Amino acid sequence: ENREAMLNSKSNRLTEALEEANRLFDGVCRAREAALDAQFLVIASNIGKEKANELHSEMSAFDSTAFAEDLLTFMGINRTEVEETDDSEDVPGGFLPSDAWQTMGEEALKYFRRAPTFHYMMGSFKSEPPVPKQRIERQKKASRGKAERAMPAQLKKMEESHQEATEKEVERILRILQTHFENDPNTPISFFDFVIDPNSFARTVENMFHVSFLIRDGLAKIKLDEDELPIIEPTKPSGGGEEDSRAGAGARNQVVISLDQKEWK
Amino acid sequence: QVSELVQFLLVKDQKKIPIKRADILKNVIREYRDAYSEIVNKAGRTLQEVFGLQLVEIDTKRHTYILINNLRRAEGEYLCRDKEKEKMGLLLVILSFIFMKGNSVKDSALWEFLHLLRVYPGKQHRVFGDVRKLVMEEFVRQKYLETTPIPLTDPPEFKYQWGPRAEKETSKKDVLTFVAKIQGKDPTFWASQYSEAGA
């Protein structure tokens, strides 16, 4: 209590209190009272320390009220107009412009050696508190790097299997064609019946793709029937010479078939 | 590694919160721990030579760093956002008050002074918003101000002093110059502050 009163440099209250404590201590005969006395001494010495501090700062008296007024002046206060605020009772009148602190800031910057904040020009990640943000960025970069390294290895594997898949498909289609012919020789299959998958346009295109291999390799051939519709039949493995000439003849023909989704439907 | 650290430091410095060695080790240096001091030194040199910035360790026990500008601010060149400018204005005013009052002030004294400038802890400020938060949390976290509780006070009171960042980014001499300019007096007017500023 009465802390402020004791701090007042002009008061001797602290000294008086200490003197009284000394007198009282003579009458002490119980430990509890001695403890209270010790507590009092701690508080007293803290106050004493504060008083000493205040003495030091008063050496070159600094009038903070005058400083505040000069600051307001610097910030462009207009003292002729009265600001309509509810706390204008204890504040000197005057209108502080909205850029007051801007003005102060402009001046203030000259006194600081502040590192300009660094920002990416194009922006990178969403702005968030830097600590978690940095960790996320770093982790993303790290994991992305690893993912990319894994990718080329994977792709290579896919490519190889892709080739095999095509060959397998082609063989499969050949076998289907041959089986069909075994069951029903001399009846060529309509090309469209053969390749078209009524449920999938993509599958249809794939089938055509695979059939084209068969044609290229001379394992099947496409002819036009009486209705000018293409039919497909497997080529019979025959004598070398004949095959060669036929393969030779076949090889010179190219056909472009176009099929879009509407036609397919 | 060095350039990664340089980038890391530059981005981390955006909020002006000191950078911890633990974060540097975890995010940048990782497996190269043994080369830590070498990498940090080289990064420091790059920051200096390329950006004119100084990497300063403000806490040698807890190993925290800040970036400051090696170059004096030249007149009239600023690309600085308004919010930043205004905060620096308030900060300079606070630092001046603390220094001129003997390097340490009670929070009640500080708020009494800011009251005169129409800045109130309990009231939302048109420019600064929650000023109490700005002064007691943001400035303290950025190490511009340091706050210590005063023992045996109830309700607890605090005292404010300059923080390590303030010590590095400005000086008592600069601040005294500012006060003198504002008040239209010579710095020698305040004799003890003048001698303390080592001017």
Q: For residue A210, what is the domain's CATH number?
A: 1.10.10.580
Tell me the average pLDDT of chain B: 88
B92 CB within 8 Å of a chain A CB: yes
C-beta of residue B56 within 8 angstroms of C-beta of residue B68: yes
Confidence of residue B82 (pLDDT cuts 50, 70, 90): confident
CB pairs under 8 A between A and B: 160
Q: Which of A109, A114, A118 comes nearest B11 by C-beta?
A: A118
Q: What residues in A contact B11, CB-CB < 8 Å?
A: 118, 130, 134
Q: Which is it for strands B157-162 and B53-59: parallel, antiparallel or unpaired?
A: unpaired
Angle between helices A130-183 and A201-216 (to 10 degrees): 60
Query: A109–B184: do the CB atoms touch at under 8 Å?
Result: no
Q: Most confidently modeled of A196-200, B147-151, B157-161?
A: B157-161
Has residue A13 been placed in a domain? Answer: yes
Q: Is A209 exposed, middle or buried (0-12, 13-18, 19+ CB in 10 A)?
A: middle
Q: What residues in B contact A97, CB-CB < 8 Å?
A: none
Res A160 pLDDT > 60: no
pLDDT for A7 = 58
pLDDT for A30 = 73
Task: Name the nearest CA neighbour of B64 among B11, B12, B18.
Answer: B18
Q: Which of A65, A67, A91 comes nearest B182 by C-beta?
A: A67
Res A148 pLDDT > 50: no
Across the range A230-239, mean pLDDT stands at: 67
Across the range A195-221, mean pLDDT stands at: 80
Buried b (16+ CB within 10 A) or exposed e, B75-86: eeeeebeeebbb
Across the range A120-134, mean pLDDT stands at: 55
More confident residue, B170 or A134: B170
More confident residue, A37 or B7: B7
Across the range A1-21, mean pLDDT stands at: 64
C-beta of residue B150 within 8 angstroms of C-beta of residue B106: yes
Quote the tokens at residue A98. 């909205």
Q: Which residue on chain A is closest to B170 by alpha carbon? A: A112
Q: To the nearest whole angstrom, how far is the Cα of A56 from the nearest Cα of chain B?
A: 7
DSSP class of residue B199?
-
Across the range A117-135, mean pLDDT stands at: 57
Query: B73–A113: do the CB atoms touch at under 8 Å?
Result: yes
Q: What is the CATH number of domain B1-69?
A: 1.10.10.1200
Has residue A111 been placed in a domain? Answer: no
Res A55 pLDDT > 70: no
Distance CA A110, CA B112 (A): 26
Q: What residues in A contact B125, CB-CB < 8 Å?
A: none
Domain boundaries, chain B: 1-69, 82-198
Quote the tokens at residue B177. 């110059």
Q: Most confidently modeled of A173-187, B23-37, B141-155?
A: B141-155
B56 CB within 8 Å of a chain A CB: no
Tokens 């299997």 sit on residue: A161
More confident residue, B137 or A133: B137
In a mutational test of the B interface, the residue from A47, A51, A114, A128 whose CB has the highest number of chain B CBs within 10 Å is: A114
Distance CA B106, CA B157 (A): 7
Q: Which of B86, B115, B194 comes nearest A101 by C-beta?
A: B86
Across the range A45-73, mean pLDDT stands at: 76
Least confident span in A222-236, B8-22, B79-93? A222-236
Across the range B63-72, mean pLDDT stands at: 85
What is the full DSSP assignment across chain A? --HHHHH-TT--HHHHHHHHHHHHHHT--SHHHHHHHHHHHHHHHHHHHHHHHHHHHTTT---HHHHHHHHHHHTT-BSSSPP--TTTTSS---B--TTHHHHHHHHHHTT--BPPPP--SS--SPP--HHHHHHHHHHHHHHHHHHHHHHHHHHHHHHHHHHHHHHHHHHHHHHHHHHHHHHSTT-PEEHHHHH--TT-HHHHHHHHHHHHHHHHTTSEEEEE-TTS-EEEEEPPP--HHHHHHHHHHHHT--------HHHH-
Query: B128–A101: do the CB atoms touch at under 8 Å?
Result: yes
pLDDT for B151 = 81
In a mutational test of the A interface, the residue from B56, B90, B118 whose CB has the highest number of chain A CBs within 10 Å is: B118
pLDDT for B161 = 95
In a mutational test of the B interface, the residue from A41, A73, A117 whose CB has the highest number of chain B CBs within 10 Å is: A117
Tell me the average pLDDT of chain A: 69
pLDDT for A38 = 81
B186 CB within 8 Å of a chain A CB: no
Distance CA B8, CA A9 (A): 52
Q: How far is CA B185 from CA A148, B6, B146, in A?
A: 66, 43, 29
pLDDT for B111 = 95
Query: A115–B90: do the CB atoms touch at under 8 Å?
Result: no
Query: B193–A60: do the CB atoms touch at under 8 Å?
Result: yes
Identical fold between B1-69 and B82-198: yes
pLDDT for A224 = 76
Res B94 pLDDT > 70: yes
Has residue A136 been placed in a domain? Answer: no
Q: To the nearest whole angstrom, how far is the Cα of B82 from the nearest Cα of chain A?
A: 7
Q: How far is CA B155 from CA A92, B37, B108, B158, in A?
A: 30, 45, 12, 10
B22 CB within 8 Å of a chain A CB: no
pLDDT for B153 = 78
Alpha-carbon B65 to chain mean position: 12
Q: Which residue on chain A is closest to B12 by alpha carbon? A: A130
Q: To the nearest whole angstrom, how far is the Cα of A205 from the nearest Cα of chain B?
A: 51
Q: What is the CATH number of domain B82-198?
A: 1.10.10.1210
Least confident span in A49-63, A189-203, A214-228, B62-76? A49-63
B82 CB within 8 Å of a chain A CB: yes
Domain hosting residue A22, numbered range: 1-55
Cα angle B63, B67, B69 (rounded to 5 degrees) comes to 145
More confident residue, B112 or A55: B112
pLDDT for A203 = 83
Q: What residues in A contact B13, CB-CB < 8 Å?
A: 115, 117-118
Least confident span in A88-92, A160-164, B32-36, B90-94? A88-92
More confident residue, A187 or B121: B121
Res B71 pLDDT > 60: yes
Across the range A135-157, mean pLDDT stands at: 49
More confident residue, A54 or B144: B144
pLDDT for A130 = 52
C-beta of residue A94 within 8 angstroms of C-beta of residue B116: no
**What are the residues whose beta carbons fall under 8 Å from the beta carbon of A64, sequence distance 6 or more?**
B97, B100, B101, B113, B116
pTM of the model: 0.56
pLDDT for A231 = 77
- Which of A15, A37, A55 is the endpoint of a domain? A55
pLDDT for A167 = 77
Q: Quick one: residue B122, left, alpha or beta (phi over 0 = left, psi -120 to 50 = alpha)? A: alpha
pLDDT for B76 = 56
Distance CA B159, CA B146 (A): 8
pLDDT for A149 = 47
pLDDT for A157 = 47
Q: In what order do the strands lie in the sheet with A220-224?
A: A189-190, A230-234, A220-224
Tens of pLDDT, residue by residue over A61-79, are: 889 999 999 999 999 988 8
Query: B192–A66: do the CB atoms touch at under 8 Å?
Result: no
Distance CA B51, CA B71 (A): 10
In a mutational test of the A interface, the residue from B11, B64, B137 whose CB has the highest number of chain A CBs within 10 Å is: B11
Across the range B84-103, mean pLDDT stands at: 94
Distance CA B95, CA A112 (A): 11
C-beta of residue A82 within 8 angstroms of C-beta of residue A95: yes
**Of all helices (H) and strands (E), which one includes residue B82?**
helix B82-100
Q: To the nearest whole angstrom, how far is the Cα of A78 from the nearest Cα of chain B?
A: 14
Confidence of residue A43 (pLDDT cuts 50, 70, 90): confident
> What is the total count of domains within chain A?
2
Across the range A1-13, mean pLDDT stands at: 57
